[in-house]
Amino acid sequence: MAKITTAAEAVASIPDNATVASVGVIGWITPDAVLKALGERFHQTGAPRDLTFYFPCGTGDGCAIKGMDHVAREGLMKRIVSGSYINPVDPATGRRPELMRLIRENRVEAYSWPIGASMHWLREVARRSPGYLTRIGLGTYIDPDLGGGRFTACAEQPLVQKVEIGGEPLLFYPSWPIDVAIVRASSADTAGNLSWEDEALVSANIGLILAAKASGGRVIAQVRRIVDGADRPASGVGIPGYFIDEIVVAPDMMMTTDVSFDPAYFSGARRAMSELPRPEMSPDKVIARRAAREVRKRELSIFGFGAAADIPLVMAEEGLLDGASLDDYWFTTEHGSYGGVVMSGWQFSANINPSAIMDGLYQLDAIDGGLCRFAALAFAQFDAEGVVNVSRFGTANPGAGGFIDIAQNARRLVFTGTFTTGGLDVGFEDGRLDIRRDGKISKFAAKAESVTYRVRDGVRDRGQTARIVTERAVFDVEAEGLVLTEVAPGVDIRRHILERMDYAPARIAEPLGQMDSDLFRDHAPARETTGA
């Protein structure tokens, strides 16, 4: 039977050199009290030392819900393997996360895996298989030929191998045991049975629990409350208490960043479309408006972080999701919330008014199986060879998240982002774009700093279609390269587009289209998107 204890007591017996794994998706479902207690134990006692941390996704926001930053301490953290990293500036301190400093200064062995691999690997650990085998990620930064996902020079051990089976190259992620899993649920009963009745996501919770128990390890569960098991049906229990060792009750845990608790994220209540946040007029809003015109009814559509996540919100603002119309648009993210409206910013990953919430490992099955046919994703760089990069650029090391799995398996791709970055300043007047000061850095680099996905290969070899939407231009990605298809009103093609690229487009469409002037007005009229 699980023991109800404090966070400090739960982490007191974690030994040196252990592998500790934790759930968390930014601020969502992060067991912050337990991670904080572990960091405080090390600060006070110097123990435990030289831990390996495994985070299937970026855990915590690095600000108010620190998550992985609680344990980002030299001596405590020897190695970290994560599906993504968080790199914001804390508005209270003006500093970036401590974990990012450790990575930049080569103080920790840091590895970045695609979230699909980080989730599915847990299943292989849980069934004691040799490891996870996949085609996804070949030719990207996770491929051993391109670094094997290493983010620091001291990360010398190859955690990913390239093998050949039947003449086909594949990526192999060998399994190793998890000693301690730290998970989070809504409630537990006195027998330790866990349920997620008022969480917006389940994420990797169940996979982590089973992987740790199959490894002979322990499971610490942080919950909001203890309930009477007789008061709920067995169908409401997500995992039996036989697999839980310790329970930490944290009644005041935040639901996510800036949200203490909101039942609309699991449809315990419904939010009117008129109550959703309205994105401010900005380049990102222009991009989201234009990309929204690529969304089709009754096509499962998956959205990534950044301007892409604003697409459902601008559709709601334009009245496209009112009433029964919302049911015609099938929205999800890589984390398993289905239906309703994808949220953006710190609330990204969950949906308002969802119709279903799926386990994280099964969500990646759906993605890898090609069930999300349309994907809108961000981009940091797009180079002359048709490579898109979101994983590592400049001093930022966010990793791929679910990008590789999504991009490789969707049929229609839209990449969203500003044309330049680093000081871009624009205005909008009479349906025209006014570029008052351009960004210092072009996102259309001659060579990407990291290979997250080879878009032209997907277009040429697998029949994908791909489009790039920026605030000033739209490109189609074809086998021979980029084709400029639309420009914003008010933009000089040579000065604002061609001269701001490190390479020339393969061609300019004839005739060259113009982006709709309504995209650049603060109150765009409602309109219909493409039908099914």
The answer to whether the CB of 207 falls within 8 A of the CB of 122 is yes
The confidence score (pLDDT) of residue 471 equals: 98
The confidence score (pLDDT) of residue 526 equals: 52
- Whether 254 maps to a domain, the answer reads no
Query: Taking Cα atoms as reference points, which of 79, 67, 48, 343 lies closest to residue 200?
Result: 343
481: Cα separation from own chain's centroid: 28
The confidence score (pLDDT) of residue 254 equals: 97
State which residues form the domain around 406: 264-520
What are the tens digits of pLDDT across the range 103-151? 999 999 999 999 999 999 999 999 999 999 999 999 999 999 999 999 9
Does 334 share its domain with 271?
yes
Does 387 share its domain with 451?
yes
Q: Any catalytic annotation for residue 334? A: yes
The domain that contains 143 carries what CATH number? 3.40.1080.10
The answer to whether the CB of 119 falls within 8 A of the CB of 408 is no
Query: Taking Cα atoms as reference points, which of 429, 434, 419 lies closest to residue 505?
Result: 419
Query: CA-CA distance, 127 to 211, in Å (whole number)?
Result: 8
The answer to whether the CB of 197 falls within 8 A of the CB of 6 is no
Does 277 share its domain with 134?
no
Query: CA-CA distance, 265 to 262, in Å (whole number)?
Result: 6
Does 405 share its domain with 460?
yes
- Whether 52 maps to a domain, the answer reads yes
- Whether 233 maps to a domain, the answer reads no
Tokens standing for 402? Answer: 């679910």
The confidence score (pLDDT) of residue 1 equals: 75
The confidence score (pLDDT) of residue 350 equals: 97
Which residues in the chain come in under a pLDDT of 50?
A: 532
Strand order in the sheet with 161-165: 131-134, 168-174, 161-165
Does 325 share its domain with 212?
no
Does 177 share its domain with 276?
no
- Whether 529 maps to a domain, the answer reads no
Does 144 share its domain with 271?
no
Does 431 share its domain with 330?
yes
Tokens standing for 499? Answer: 């001269």
- Whether 243 maps to a domain, the answer reads no
Does 474 share its domain with 346?
yes
- Whether 270 maps to a domain, the answer reads yes
Q: What is the DSSP string of 454-471?
A: EHHHHHHHH--EEEEE-S
- Whether 83 maps to a domain, the answer reads yes
Does 32 share its domain with 170?
yes
Query: Taking Cα atoms as reference points, which of 407, 428, 433 lies closest to residue 491?
Result: 433
Q: Which of 109, 199, 334, 471 is catalytic?
A: 334
Q: For 25, list phi and psi in degrees, rounded to 5.
A: -135, 95
The confidence score (pLDDT) of residue 523 equals: 75
Q: Answer with the one of 191, 220, 249 that is the final residue of a domain.
A: 220
DSSP class of residue 328 equals G
Does 506 share its domain with 411?
yes
Does 270 share its domain with 411?
yes
Q: What is the DSSP string of 426-456?
A: EEEETTEEEEEE--SEESS-SS-SS-SEEHH
The confidence score (pLDDT) of residue 532 equals: 47
The confidence score (pLDDT) of residue 331 equals: 98
179-194 burial by CB neighbour count: b if 16+ within 10 A, else e?
Answer: bbbbbbbbbbbeebbb
Number of folded domains that form the chain:
2
Query: CA-CA distance, 229 to 447, in Å (whole number)?
Result: 58
- Whether 252 maps to a domain, the answer reads no
308 by DSSP, 3-state: which?
helix
